[in-house]
């Protein structure tokens, strides 16, 4: 996978949220990859620390909600603004059952990494085919 291109500037996408939290929320960029054993979800949540993100799994729906931990100080007067600030929100429906006990979530440098192991009975089972003999 090419890693050497220049990064493109994209507008943040605001979500209309009905919720109890005031303020703007944006739809974070995510990568979702599915293997036989798990879903791996990585989300860019710059400005968020581990205390500011909530990950919930309800039946087959995964929700990510985050608020900023790194914010402009009240004394800072804006001179020029190229990007907007706000929390993040995204929801996914996963097709396989997840073993909630074994979910792992890590926040580092504004990136959320989620390992969602599939429940055992939903993992593809390799069935050994033996020869019928003769």
Partner 1 sequence: MAIYGFSSPGWGDSWQPFDELRRELGALMDDWGARASRGARAGVFPPVNLYETEREYVLTAEVPGLRGEDLDVTLDGQRLTLRGERRIDAPAENVSVHRRERQAGVFHRTVALPENVDREKVEATYRHGVLVVRIPKPAAQQPRRIAIRASE
Question: Which residues in this chain contact partner 1 in the complex, by CB under 8 A?
Answer: 1-11, 13, 29-36, 40, 42, 44-49, 69-70, 72, 75-83, 85, 107, 109-111
Structure tokens at 94: 């996963």
Closer to partner 1 at the Cβ: 80 or 130? Answer: 80
Nearest approach in angstroms of CB 32 to partner 1 is: 4
Closer to partner 1 at the Cβ: 20 or 74? Answer: 74
Nearest approach in angstroms of CB 120 to partner 1 is: 19
Nearest approach in angstroms of CB 18 to partner 1 is: 22
Nearest approach in angstroms of CB 53 to partner 1 is: 10
23: left (phi over 0), alpha (psi -120 to 50) or beta: left
CB 74 within 8 A of CB 100: no
Closer to partner 1 at the Cβ: 83 or 133? Answer: 83
CB 105 within 8 A of CB 82: no
Q: End-to-end alpha-carbon separation of the chain, Å?
A: 48
Distance CA 134, CA 37 (A): 36
Cα 118 to Cα 40, 93, 112, distances in angstroms? 11, 14, 19
Closer to partner 1 at the Cβ: 83 or 134? Answer: 83
């Amino acid at each position: 996978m090419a890693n050497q291109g220049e990064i493109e500037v994209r507008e943040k996408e605001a979500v209309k949220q009905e919720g109890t939290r005031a303020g703007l929320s944006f739809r974070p960029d995510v990568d979702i990859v599915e293997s036989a054993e798990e879903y791996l979800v990585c989300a860019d949540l710059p400005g968020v620390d581990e205390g500011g993100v909530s990950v919930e799994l309800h039946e087959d729906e995964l929700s990510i909600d985050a608020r900023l931990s790194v914010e402009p100080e009240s004394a800072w007067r804006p001179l020029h603004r190229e990007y907007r600030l706000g929390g993040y929100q995204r929801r996914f429906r996963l097709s396989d059952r997840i073993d909630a006990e074994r979910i792992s979530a890590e926040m580092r440098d504004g990136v959320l990494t989620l390992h969602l192991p599939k429940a055992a009975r939903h993992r593809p089972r390799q069935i050994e085919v033996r020869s019928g003999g003769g």
